[in-house]
Amino acid sequence: MKENIILQKETLNNTNRINFKKIAIALLAVVLVVFAMLAVSFLTDTTASARVTQTQINRLRAEKQEYERQKREIQDKIDAIEFQHMTEMQKKEILDSRITLTDFEIKNINKTIEQFYQLIREKEYDLFVAQNREETQFQRYRNRVRDMEENGIVSYLEILLDSTSFSDLLARIDFVTDIMRADRILYDNLQIIRSETEEVKASLEVTKNELEEEKEQLEFKEAELYIQLEEAHDIIRRLEADIETESELRDQLAAEEDRIQKELNAAVEQLRRQQEAERQRRLREQQRRAQQSGSGGGTTSSSGNDGTSSVTGKFLFPVPSGRIISRFGVARGERTHQGLDIGAAYGANVVAAESGRVVTVSHGAGYGHYVTIAHGNGIQTLYSHLSSTAVNVGDNVTRGQVVGYNGSSGNATTPHLHFEVFLNGVRVNPERFL
């Protein structure tokens, strides 16, 4: 009787140990499944983040298509018979528009290339994570295969043959089945992770190929820009070679200088009225607050922030990478040079010489694209022949902020900035302030 009780206890202990092993292996299998799900989820989240960048690339490509459409319209004008009957300056203005769009395309491609570099960095990180995940999973699978080689089917048979009863045999069969199921999950997860690694690797290669295509387009557009610049500059060179036409050109430029000065004076006067109205509003607001507080104190005038600044010290050089090629007051035929010409590479940054408010962003046949800024104390600056502008009327700009990019729009044969300074409505030598 005592022997039967001892045998039953041993059988119960063995059964408990087997059940514990089954539970432990089952938990391990669940952990592996959860790990695989988390891995897939992580890869999905990373890919979603990359898709945001891809959306930005798609938007840039849409912008480029719009530039190309506008350039086709301009090219249609150039190819039309009417183009041949236009004045040389009218032709130059149309060619400048085409150059501006080509310049926009180049900037667009450079932005796209930056986005591709960022996308490649993201995908390289994704690949790094995927390869580490694959290596970890492979190590687990290899360890399991090694265990199977050492024990293999013999181990399974020993488990089954050690059964003490039919019910114990069924329990052991379930236990072996759970082990085999966990082995299968381990193998399937390895295949899934390997497949994901290959997908990330393939996506990275596609992105790198797209980057190379953008670089090729950039080289093509830069060569196209050079040809277009030469074609536009040739018009001005022909005009300067014709004495009669050059005289007309000087008259046209003088008229444009007068127009710009009147335009600037009107814009500054409008700004002054706006600032005065704002000052009066702030004064009334101070008076109202003083009355509400019952202080009975007098009011004080407020200078406020009117968007311009009192000029102190020297101006910044407006083209940091440039050099002076023509000075103020130099005789040019029957007229004198009204500003400072600063030579620099096409597309170089043009910066605000001092903080202030943008009062004009416009275009003229002679000045091309130009920007004017009011700085206070009766001082304004003008930046012309820009390839494109980077500010809008009413913007408050800080000293050194980019306001445009160096170019040769208008009456210009080479890329340079024509820089002017106005003091109380009169052009003065810019070098006094530099």
Largest CA distance in the chain: 135
pLDDT in tens, 193-224: 888 888 888 888 888 888 888 888 888 888 88
Please, are residues 275 and 306 in contact by the beta-carbon 8 Å criterion?
yes
- Does the structure show a pLDDT above 70 at 303? no
Model pLDDT, residue 264: 82
Model pLDDT, residue 412: 86
Kindly report which listed range (136-140, 261-265, 305-309) carries the lowest average pLDDT score: 305-309
β-pair partners for 131: none
| Measured distance CA(115)–CA(57) in Å, rounded | 7
Tokens of 301: 């005038």
For domain 257-293+314-432, give the CATH number.
2.70.70.10
Give the torsion sign (CA, 170, 172, 173, 179): positive
Tokens of 120: 């490649």
Is pLDDT larger for residue 387 or for residue 29?
387
pTM of the model: 0.61
| Measured distance CA(156)–CA(173) in Å, rounded | 9
**pLDDT band, residue 73 (cuts 50/70/90):** confident
Q: How distant, in Å, are the alpha carbons of 75, 97, 102, 283, 410 from that of 71?
A: 6, 8, 8, 52, 18
Q: Which residue has the tokens 């390895």?
A: 190
pLDDT in tens, 104-133: 888 888 888 888 888 888 888 888 888 888
Kindly report which listed range (260-269, 328-337, 372-381) carries the lowest average pLDDT score: 328-337
**pLDDT band, residue 162 (cuts 50/70/90):** low
Model pLDDT, residue 140: 74
Domain residue spans in the chain?
A: 2-239, 257-293+314-432
Kindly report which listed range (100-114, 133-147, 200-214, 239-253) carries the lowest average pLDDT score: 239-253
**pLDDT band, residue 400 (cuts 50/70/90):** very high
Q: Which residue has the tokens 């002017």?
A: 420
Model pLDDT, residue 2: 43
Q: Which of 186-190, 234-238, 344-348 is most confident?
A: 344-348
Tokens of 376: 């206070």
Kindly report which listed range (158-167, 293-302, 384-393) carries the lowest average pLDDT score: 293-302
Model pLDDT, residue 103: 87
| Measured distance CA(259)–CA(385) in Å, rounded | 16
